[in-house]
Amino acid sequence: MAYTGLQRPLAGKRIAVTRAEEQAGELAARLEALGAEAEVCPTIAIAPPADFTPLDQAIAQLNESVYDWVIFTSANGVRALLDRMGTLGYPTNVLWRCRLGAIGPATARALAKHGLTAGFVPSAYVAEAIVAEIGDVAGQRILLPRADGARETLTAGLRARGALVDEVAAYRTVPGPGIGRLWELLQARVLDALTFTSSSTVRYLLDGLAAAGLRDPEVVELFNHTAIACIGPITAETARRAGLRVDVVAACHTTEGLVEALVAHFAGAVSVEST
């Protein structure tokens, strides 16, 4: 959805961004361009894997043309794999030897920045859609460079279709530096919306609050004073399981879709994805 320079549909709204610090700028800028005051409060940070050995072995196999596919489920996975390849002295064009998949347009753009093309992007930006739409992968070797502890849905689904899947931890998510600031804003009840862009942004916020001795039902009650907006159904389900009321789920599971859903929500339109 395009807006003219005179349209500021989020004017006067104070919205928290919980993405990792290096990724939060794009979403914050989109919100501020529409008039919002963006509060960047990273609840996660991106860290290297605890052990590089599995990733290094996978990169060596990439160089030997072992894999038919590499499927990326986040822009972080793209950066982590390519950074490690550079550290080990492997050129980017090693990835030209296999087909590349991306879970969504942001991940595809991260590949494009390195001169790489995602030949497959599913119609819905979730693991289930990759499994449903990738086609015949029986007997093919697939590398999944992902976050440590990522959902098993993609790995299990591809194996059920006969693929030989190597899932390796390319990076870890760890607690971010913005949890304390976000708690202050929640206590002051000054936020109009709180955005979550992954399940880990939800989990680390709640874990951080619990570690500080802040527990239900007081924590959940404070969350109920702000609109909770999630980038997609997986993140929303994580929030709901934690007892949070989810007000907005982006129909298009991207930061652009999340901003559009927030605009619709504050305009009084139906912005919660039907499930």
pLDDT of residue 273: 44
pLDDT of residue 1: 52
pLDDT of residue 217: 74
**What are the CA-CA distances from residue 72 to residues 29, 53, 104 (Å)?**
25, 19, 9
**CB-based contact 38:170 (threshold 8 Å):** no
pLDDT of residue 220: 82
Summarize pLDDT for 183-228 with one digit per residue, the tens.
999 999 999 999 999 999 999 999 988 888 877 677 888 888 899 9
Residue ranges with strand state E in 11-134 = 14-17, 37-40, 44-47, 69-72, 99-102
Spans of the chain, pLDDT less than 70 = 1-6, 216, 269-275
Q: In what order do the strands lie in the sheet with 37-40?
A: 37-40, 14-17, 193-196, 227-230, 248-249
